[in-house]
């Protein structure tokens, strides 16, 4: 559509001249009047640029251009006419939202310049509309994620706090590893709902003091698959459901639910796995007190390259040991994360 042009004029000599000037460089269509122009719009549209004469038998150019907005609203409209007076110009702009008003006779150079300007205007307007659409999609995606987070938080405040902590640590690791901003955005969304599958786990399993039975633990281990099933129908621009699906996989293939190994596990999931273990070991749980950050770091360091991505572990250790990041738990508040950025 970016180079589709429609010329409407009842003078066949004008249309022949336009075809000589523009055919071969653009996808050009012509019509001999307003009614024919609307028919072409319906059959061949939409168009990037529409150029019309004003004084034509039957439907005049002003009515045609106004009605063309219903069929091809994003088109840039111009007038090429021998009746170039101020009243016509004002009517054309007000009625047809005309971009330019060209007087006959119009030289090939002037017509070329006008067409180039109209195409540039069309591209600018299209890009602006695409940006607005992307912003709306972004807001919609964030709204979906917020809804999932609120669902988990209402049911299990511990899991909600854990997801917030894992999100911040995952993002900190990813940024330090130099991941592209868009991949980090997807990781942020995935981390914030990585335990969404626990909504299908009985609440008494999650909040019970003491050890779980093998059967209860097996049910809890279904949460990555359930999370994938919940998220996969949503058409995210990032592999959110896959990251959630894989965050309990391990490099040596001993993880769950798929038993993936090595590079078969997405890097984002490998990063999240490190953040998830660090927060889980550090923080308090209903069945045990927190073991602290030092114990958590010792765990991931001892299994770097076997269970956990070695690069992600190295960055995680650097973040904590050089006080670029901390997990801070206060009694009665649950887990809380803070950034400690170095200047």
Domain tally, the chain: 2
> Same domain for 95 and 201?
no
Q: Are residues 185 and 304 in the same domain?
A: yes
Most confident of 134-148, 172-186, 316-330: 172-186
Least Cα distance to 37 among 23, 13, 21, 53 occurs for 53
Task: List, as one string, the DSSP characters of 281-334.
Answer: HHS-BTTB----HHHHHHHHHHTBTTTB-HHHHHHHHHHHHTTSEEEEEETTTE
Residues 281 and 223 in one domain: yes
Confidence (pLDDT) at 286 = 60
- What are the start-end ranges of the H helices in 156-266? 157-176, 181-192, 203-207, 214-220, 223-231, 240-246
Residue 27 maps to a domain: yes
Averaged pLDDT for residues 189-198: 88
The candidate with the shortest Cα–Cα distance to 52, out of 15, 27, 26, 85, is 15
* Predicted confidence (pLDDT) at residue 196 exceeds the cutoff of 70: yes
**Are 69 and 203 contained in the same domain?**
no
On average, the pLDDT of the chain sits at 82
Does 8 share its domain with 83? yes
Residue ending a domain, among 129, 146, 176, is 129
Strands 334-339 and 325-330: antiparallel
Assess if residue 72 is contained within a domain: yes
The verdict on 36 and 160 lying in the same domain is no
342: confidence class by pLDDT, cuts 50, 70, 90: very low
Q: CATH number of the domain that 118 lies in?
A: 3.40.50.2300
Residue 187 has pLDDT above 90, yes or no: yes
Q: Please indicate, yes or no, whether residues 121 and 170 belong to a single structural domain of this protein.
A: no
Query: What pLDDT is recorded for position 141?
Result: 67
CB 298 within 8 A of CB 320: no
As a whole number of angstroms, the distance between CA 26 and CA 220 comes to 61
User: Does residue 114 sit in the same domain as residue 161?
Assistant: no
Is residue 285 a part of any domain in this protein? yes
Asked if residue 341 has pLDDT above 60, the reply is: no
Q: What is the pLDDT of residue 90?
A: 59
Residues 61 and 168 in one domain: no
pLDDT: is 125 or 279 the higher one?
Answer: 279
- Pick the residue with more confidence: 202 or 21? 21
Cβ neighbourhood burial of 128 (10 Å; 0-12, 13-18, 19+): exposed
Q: How confident is the model at residue 337 (pLDDT cuts 50, 70, 90)?
A: very low
Whether residue 287 has pLDDT greater than 70? no
DSSP result, 120-137: HHHHHHHHHHHHHHHHHH
CA distance 175 to 169: 10
Whether 142 is covered by a domain: the verdict is no
Determine the 3-state secondary structure of 32 from DSSP. Answer: coil
Say which range, 1-10, 67-76, 205-214, has the weakest mean pLDDT: 205-214
Q: What is the CATH number of the domain that holds 198?
A: 1.10.3210.10
* 333: in domain: yes
Residue 140 lies in a domain: no
Region 8-27: mean pLDDT is 88
> Is 307 found in the same domain as 212?
yes
pTM: 0.59
- What is the pLDDT confidence band of residue 23, given thresholds at 50, 70 and 90? confident
pLDDT digits (tens, 9 = 90+) for 31-77: 999 999 999 999 988 899 999 988 888 888 888 988 898 888 888 89
Note whether 169 and 125 are same-domain residues: no
Q: What is the pLDDT of residue 335?
A: 35
228 occurs within a structural domain: yes
Does residue 86 sit in the same domain as residue 233?
no
Listed residues 110, 129, 148: the one ending a domain: 129
Asked if residue 147 belongs to a domain, the reply is: no
Surface-to-core class of residue 275, CB atoms within 10 Å of its CB (0-12 exposed, 13-18 middle, 19+ buried)? buried
Residue-range definition of the domain harbouring residue 12: 4-129
| Mean pLDDT on 219-242 | 89
* Domain boundary pick from 94, 129, 164: 129
């Amino acid at each position: 559509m970016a180079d589709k042009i429609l010329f409407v004029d009842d003078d066949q000599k004008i249309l022949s001249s336009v075809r000589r000037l523009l055919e071969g460089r653009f996808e050009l269509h012509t019509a001999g009047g307003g009614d024919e122009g609307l028919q072409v719009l319906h059959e061949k549209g939409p168009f990037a640029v529409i150029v019309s004469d004003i004084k034509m038998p039957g439907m005049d150019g002003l009515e045609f251009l106004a009605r063309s907005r219903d069929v091809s609203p994003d088109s840039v409209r111009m007038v090429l006419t021998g009746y170039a007076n101020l009243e016509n110009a004002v009517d054309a702009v007000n009625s047809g939202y005309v971009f330019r008003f060209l007087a006959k006779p119009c030289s090939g150079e002037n017509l070329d310049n006008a067409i180039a300007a109209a195409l540039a205007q069309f591209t600018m307007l299209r890009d602006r509309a695409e940006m607005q659409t992307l912003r709306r999609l972004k807001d919609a995606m964030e709204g979906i994620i917020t809804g999932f987070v609120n669902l988990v938080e209402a049911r299990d405040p511990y899991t909600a706090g854990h997801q917030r902590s894992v999100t911040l640590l995952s993002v900190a690791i990813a940024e330090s590893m130099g991941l592209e901003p868009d991949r980090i955005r997807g990781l942020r969304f995935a981390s914030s709902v990585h335990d969404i599958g626990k909504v299908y786990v009985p609440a008494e399993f999650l909040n019970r003091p003491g050890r779980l039975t093998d059967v209860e633990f097996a049910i809890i281990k279904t949460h990555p698959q359930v999370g994938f099933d919940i998220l996969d129908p949503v058409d995210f621009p990032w592999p959110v459901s896959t990251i959630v699906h894989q965050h309990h996989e391990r490099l040596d293939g001993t993880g769950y639910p798929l038993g993936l190994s090595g590079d078969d596990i997405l890097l984002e999931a490998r990063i999240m796995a490190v953040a998830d273990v660090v927060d889980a070991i550090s923080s308090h749980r209903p069945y045990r007190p927190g073991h602290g950050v030092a114990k958590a770091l010792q765990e991931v360091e001892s299994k770097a390259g076997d269970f956990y991505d070695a690069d992600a572990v190295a960055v995680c250790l650097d973040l904590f040991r050089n006080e670029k990041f901390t997990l801070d738990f206060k009694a009665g508040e649950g887990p809380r994360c803070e950034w400690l950025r170095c200047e």
